[in-house]
A and B are shown apart, each in its own frame.
Chain A
Amino acid sequence: MTLSGWTWPEILPVFAAGAAAITALYLLRMRRRQVVVPFAALWQQVTRESDTRRLWKKLRRLLSWLLQLVLLALLCAALGDPRPDSWLRDPQTVAIVVDRSASVAGPAAGEPGLTRLDVLLRRARAELAGLGPTDRALVIAAGAEVEVPGPLGRDAAPLLRALDGIVPGPGEADLGRALALARAALAGQAGGRILVLTDGALDEAAGDALATCISGHVSSDSPDAAAIPCQVARAGGPADNLALVAFAARRYPGDRERIEVLAEVHNLGDGPASAVLEVQADGLVVGRQAVQLGPGERRREVLRELDAARTRLVANLSLEPGADPQQLGPPDDDRAYAVVPPLPPFKVVLVTDGSDLFLEAALLTLQEHIQLTGVGPADAASHPSLAEADLVIIDVGDRPLPDPLPPGDLVIFDPARVAPDAAPIRGAGELVRPFLTEQHREHPLLDGVVLKDVNLRRGTRLATEPGDTVLVRSLGEPLVVLRHELGGDGRRPRAVLALGFDPRQTDLPLRTAFPILVANIIGYFEQARPGFVASVPVGPSRPVAAAEIGLGAQDLTQVEVRGPEPADSPSTVPVDATGVFRLRAMQPGIYRVRAVDGAAAGAEVLVAVNQASVAASDLHDRLGELPPAALAGEAAAPVPVRDEPLWALLLLAAALLIAIEWATYHRRVTV
């Protein structure tokens, strides 16, 4: 507090003189008027009670004298025109960036019952309360989407109201955009300062943006951005959190009426945790399982053979009775949504010379869920369907294998017949009239397949490598081998099944085991295909391919998006030429997407949106040590009044005291 009017040496003599005058008047007031009465004995009876309060009366007189001195002190202080230091300093402009990511919903350290966001907002309010009358501020909420709930202004009231409306949102804080916005808002403003209020649980991008802001290395497109100091106030807390980081469902290719659900739970805390995972389908509980995870452990739970009639799935993490409620952390990652995706046809390309009718017939029986394409050996290297095929079956008899081989999953009959090194699984010698003596009965490829007494005219002994699965042997020699390896492009893993015989040279096609084996092969590779459609992560602009969610993309230019319940009015979103549209998914849940035009006009599909982000669910402070200059200290002391001079307040207080004294005097309280 600084005096901008009279100085103390000027005020003190005035106060001393006034105090002396008040004391003199007080002493004069203490002299009593003499009143002659005819019957003092009766007065004595009446006033005997008041004698017992004489000490209190004297004290009240003393208080009355002190009251007058306080009154004088207020008036003298008004002469000094005191002003808080914040009023006299240079104007400041503060951009308060509040982290409203999912992690700020976590508990605050040492503040039972308060979340980190509560502590951050308290700090923001203190900052606003300490602003001087010439200072300005704005409030930026940095969630998955950046908002400005409190625009730049001097009046703290709308900014405080804006703070009241900030709540934790799903996903991570887009600090990069928030800081860029803050710098743009402060450009050209006097005394600019950015105050970042965060719990420190930031993802890598946000951490980098903050580090850049602190270090002052800002982009050159902001003319005076380097001059804007950036400070951080943190409010951390316990990091215990169990999160659902993945949740998806898929149909069984062979049984479209059944589905399989995958849920992945991650313990992001520093101690063991346990919870109950519950899956609901259209409101009915279809699966429930207790999970116990060690620190940092991640576990996948698969619920199989569920009824596919239900299309909307919700997974919930809940506590076991008596468990510590802090284990679950923020609620956004304790619930996830999934929809059962459409099952696209399994594309099978059969490279054959057309002489193996038994194989073609076996494949044709599966055409309900596969899309079979036949390709001749001459076209096998360049046919376009090979690039889109999910599985390529090569059965070319005595012809050489295509070169190069397709990069995806392969099933090759008699791969080393022409050249031992033509296939990934090489041949190691020919076998004459081999017997199928050993069979891996537990493998799904041979489920229900009986190879006993199958006659082979010839076969090829296959060379195995570590990791290969030998499914059938002939007196110990590998005859059918399954190998998982990187594909022909060297990036994508694939599986290669090599059968060391030509079906035409056996009686296997004549047995019931053959179509079963073919069905098992198709089913195995179908199951190995991912099939689970990942949910869309929360975000303001997520690209979604219409075809991937089962919406026909042909001639599609617009889709209508309706958010989760309670649904707002639908919004129309353009679709680009590649069939991709941008989904604004700011709230986890199940969205409805409807094709406005195109071949699939009117068709509607469901899309699940989840937080499903380990970075967003991780409550650990990842900012690390910050330089001292980047740490925001305590907020300035609040100023009782913002715009009115304090001397007016002092005079008001003096007038109030006079009124109180006057009223109490006339009621004989202060006499």
Chain B
Amino acid sequence: MAFWKRSESPQPERPAPAAADDLFGEAFLAKLELLQVIARRLFRGKQRAERKTRKVGNGLEFADHREYSPGDDIRNLDWGVLMRLEQTLVRLYEEDEDLPIRIAVDISDSMSTSGGSKLRYAQQVAAALAYVGLANLDRVGLTCMSRKLHTTLPAVRGKGRIFRVFDFLRTAPRGGPTDMRAACGRLAAESAQPGLTVVLSDFYDLQGAFDGLNLLRFRKHEPVAIQVIDPREAHPELSGLRGDVTLVDVEGGDAREVTLSPAALRAYADAHEKFCQALAASCRSRGIPYFRAETSVPFDELVLRMFRVGGLLR
């Protein structure tokens, strides 16, 4: 007897496109202004376009040594090492350049469950980050991605472009399964210039959740992972779910008949927590900033926390 049955083309609940008053209304804009003031105070004294890239070039700050090869500028030869060790090493310097900000929002079906709270939350965080970036005269681009859909807002600069960001987020199509590896690969491929890439997703992709982030890092991006979590999904016992049910994946796939006992619900909550901790541990081991964003926490608090912890904006 097959434990899994093909689901009868379940129709995931799709939230209606949020109205502008709901997503980016007056209250939202007021919070963005407040964020901007706070960000300005935090980043006072910093120069624009001072973000350090991993690119080694003609900057002033020493980065590394490498073997001399013909054609290298002889001025960069480290004479001290040559005299002491009789090795011809070339000094390398970090190159300072303008670093674009790319904000990627996961629009897969898994983000639309529970009334679309996760997607709405991700859009608000993306809009807030974009607003702060634009206010700091950074070049900010947005991408909405899933395995099936991939729409991109080219990088824009200037605070006045924020409404284009709003329109993009509001009108972007949504749906399709989660495939972080494919989505991030496409994102990296279409980004001519690597930069700070903020990925907003629930990362409900057992195989590719971290691979996508690692791929961005491999392509010289500086990824930042923000995992959006609905507490009712992380702790299903809070939703009153129990008994004999058929579980259907929102992104399609096999249906599964299970009996949800309190023990099973606790086991799921534990497994979910372990999954999140494994993702966080993988990110930290490779220097990828990771933030857990629960939809029960107001988005502006999350953004401020990200500012305070650092590593995302400066």
Contacts and interface: CB of A to CB of B under 8 A. Distances in A.
Interface of A: 32-47, 50-51, 54, 57, 668, 671
A32 B247 CA distance: 10
A33 B244 contact: yes
Contacts of A51: 3
Contact of B10 (A32, A34, A42, A44): A34
Contacts of A668: 259, 261-262
Interface string B277-309: 000000000000000000000000000000000
Contacts of A45: 271
B241 interface: yes
A34 B259 contact: no
Q: Which 9 A-B pairs have the closest CB atoms?
A: A40-B249, A38-B110, A39-B204, A668-B261, A38-B113, A32-B246, A47-B258, A35-B245, A46-B268
B268 A33 contact: no
Contacts of B12: 36
A430 B202 CA distance: 154
Interface of B: 1, 3, 10, 12-13, 109-111, 113-114, 202, 204, 206, 233, 241, 243-251, 253-259, 261-262, 264, 267-268, 271-272, 275
A43 B259 CA distance: 11
Nearest to A43: B247
Contact of A36 (B206, B248, B271, B272): B248
Contact of A35 (B246, B251, B275): B246
Nearest to B4: A44
A46 B267 contact: yes
A37 B258 contact: no
B43 to A, nearest CB: 36
Contact of A671 (B109, B233, B244, B246): B244
A36 B264 contact: no
Given A37-B247, A40-B249, A42-B271, A50 B113 contact: no
B233 A44 contact: no
Contacts of B204: 38-39, 41-42
B5 to A, nearest CB: 11
B246 to A, nearest CB: 4
Contact of A40 (B241, B253, B261): B253
For A36, A41, A57, the residue with the greatest tally of chain B CB atoms inside 10 Å of its CB is A36
Contact of B256 (A33, A43, A57, A671): A43
Nearest to A55: B1
A23 to B, nearest CB: 18
Given A43-B258, A668-B259, A671-B243, A38 B202 contact: yes
A37 B259 contact: no
Contacts of B253: 40
Contact of B250 (A32, A33, A36, A54): A36
A42 B202 contact: no
B247 A35 contact: yes
Tell me the interface secondary structure of chain B in the complex: mixed
Contact of B13 (A36, A43, A44, A671): A36
25 contacts: A32-B257, A33-B243, A33-B246, A34-B248, A35-B248, A36-B10, A36-B249, A37-B247, A37-B248, A38-B110, A38-B204, A39-B110, A40-B253, A40-B254, A41-B206, A42-B204, A42-B271, A43-B256, A44-B256, A47-B247, A47-B258, A54-B3, A57-B259, A671-B243, A671-B259
A111 to B, nearest CB: 53
B245 A38 contact: no
B268 A43 contact: yes
A612 to B, nearest CB: 78
A53 to B, nearest CB: 9
Contacts of B268: 42-43, 46
A50 B259 contact: yes
A41 B262 CA distance: 19
Best-buried of A35, A41, A50 by chain B (most CB within 10 Å): A35
Given A35-B247, A47-B256, 6 more contacts: A37-B113, A38-B249, A40-B256, A47-B247, A50-B258, A54-B1
B248 A42 contact: no
A625 B69 CA distance: 130
Contacts of A44: 256
A603 to B, nearest CB: 91
A34 B267 CA distance: 20
B248 A38 contact: no
A46 B247 CA distance: 12
Nearest to A33: B245
B303 to A, nearest CB: 24
B136 to A, nearest CB: 34
A34 to B, nearest CB: 5
B293 to A, nearest CB: 15
A118 B249 CA distance: 73
A34 B256 contact: no
A32 B110 contact: no
A40 B245 CA distance: 13
A44 B247 CA distance: 9
B56 to A, nearest CB: 41
B271 A46 contact: yes
A34 B271 contact: no
Contact of B244 (A32, A37, A43): A32
Contacts of A43: 247, 256, 258, 268
Contacts of B3: 51, 54
A54 B244 CA distance: 12
Nearest to B252: A40
A42 B257 contact: no
Contact of B113 (A34, A36, A46, A47): A36
B267 to A, nearest CB: 5
Contacts of A40: 247-249, 253-254, 256
Contacts of B262: 668
B249 A37 contact: yes
B233 A39 contact: yes
A47 B259 CA distance: 8
Contacts of A46: 264, 267-268, 271
Nearest to B261: A668
* Most chain A CB within a 10 A radius of its CB, from B110, B244, B257, B272: B244
A630 to B, nearest CB: 67
A507 B247 CA distance: 141
A630 B246 CA distance: 73
A47 B264 contact: yes
A54 B259 CA distance: 10
Contacts of A42: 204, 206, 268, 271-272, 275
Contact of B241 (A32, A35, A38, A41): A35
Contacts of B250: 36-38
A50 B258 CA distance: 8
A34 B246 contact: yes
Nearest to B118: A38
A156 to B, nearest CB: 49
A513 to B, nearest CB: 117
Contacts of B10: 34, 36
B237 to A, nearest CB: 13
A187 to B, nearest CB: 70
Given A39-B204, A39-B233, A43-B258, A32 B249 contact: no
A668 B268 CA distance: 17
B245 A34 contact: yes
A586 to B, nearest CB: 71
A666 B98 CA distance: 63
B13 to A, nearest CB: 7
Contacts of A36: 10, 12-13, 113, 248-250
A582 B247 CA distance: 96
